[in-house]
Amino acid sequence: MGSENRIGMVSPFKVRCGIANYTENLTRALAEHGVETYIVRLNRFGSKTSDYLEHLATRRIPKVPLLHIQHECGLYEGREAAFYQALKMIHPEIKIATTVHGIGMKQQDEVIARFSDLVIVHNEYQKRLFEWPCIVIHHGVQIRKPIEKEKAKKLMNLEGEKVVGCFGFIAPHKGIEDLLYAASKLRDVKFLIAGGYHVEAETGYMTKLKKTAPPNVIWTGYVEDAELPKVFGCMDLCIYPSRFISESGALLTIIGFGKALIARDLPPNREKPVMLFKTKEDLVDCVKQVLDDEELRMKLEEGSKRYAKANSWMKIAEQHIKHYKKLLQT
């Protein structure tokens, strides 16, 4: 990458946030390849005023040849122009790469395309949706080993149980209601919902869900990273029922643990090694099918492992470095 293997990266960091987790994994993998990353921390929560974003762009940017911005619509609250314009005005010499984690807000996408020298998306669905030139670099996968299943079930007080898991932050668009419907139809199966919210222990929405959940549903709340091998270890299969995604770090965490996965039939999920469902009734049938068919479950697990290996963070970092070099040569 030239005389100084150093870049800047604008992102939330060290908070409960999927993009913060993405940034930490990517920067760690880049470091393994000899690239030092200076993090410009963007506030994850609170109002993002134009003054705040201009301050970030003009006062916080290090002296680097390339700045990589991790973007999601909610992080900028529609004020991308204030950030990018100030950045280009004060630092015209810096090349700008932007990874767009969520596509679909045309006004925001247009600003990103206008001011970025390189735009990165995570899958072919995003590439079709984004109306300007961009490249695909898949979301990286952290390959992790779960605790042995029977040992994990004992630790989770689920010995002898069939366990279906769900992982990720809980919000109204995550489709948890369909999971609860499946649980109500499969009372001999335990449904383990591993996840909470970004800040509070529980939201009003989560409280409402718990009141309507059948007794075979178990809620863990937010799970710390060190506990994930135990939690995933006890799961016979996983469900990701979100009603809307353009990419999902939670889904890829499940794949990274090599689990059999059922996910809603959405365009990004069609690019993954998962079983797809369309309706809550379909979901019940899929769960039955996977739990009753060991060969099918193992086939789905092998698909997860192959995908994780092909898209490990080290390989994803290599792809980033290749494009960083091209960018710096222009």
Residue 70 token pair = 């991790």
Tell me how crowded residue 88 is: count the other CB atoms within 10 A of its CB.
Answer: 15
What was the pLDDT predicted at 199?
53
Report d(CA 180, CA 123) in Å as an integer.
Answer: 30
Report d(CA 181, CA 275) in Å as an integer.
Answer: 18
Report d(CA 192, CA 124) in Å as an integer.
Answer: 31
CB-count exposure of residue 328 (10 Å: 0-12, 13-18, 19+): middle
The candidate with the shortest Cα–Cα distance to 169, out of 308, 18, 8, is 18
What was the pLDDT predicted at 3?
45
The candidate with the shortest Cα–Cα distance to 10, out of 52, 29, 260, 33, is 52
Any bridge partners for residue 194, and if so which? Answer: 167, 221
Q: Can you list the domains of the chain with their CATH numbers?
A: 6-140+312-329 (3.40.50.2000), 149-310 (3.40.50.2000)
The candidate with the shortest Cα–Cα distance to 223, out of 16, 14, 64, is 16
Report d(CA 108, CA 41) in Å as an integer.
Answer: 20
For 16, half-sphere exposure in the C-beta direction (CA atoms, 13 angstrom radius) is 15
What was the pLDDT predicted at 103?
79
What was the pLDDT predicted at 330?
85
Report d(CA 298, CA 277) in Å as an integer.
Answer: 19
What was the pLDDT predicted at 1?
64
Extract the residue ranges of the chain whose pLDDT is less than 70. 1-4, 104, 198-202
Report d(CA 76, CA 52) in Å as an integer.
Answer: 10
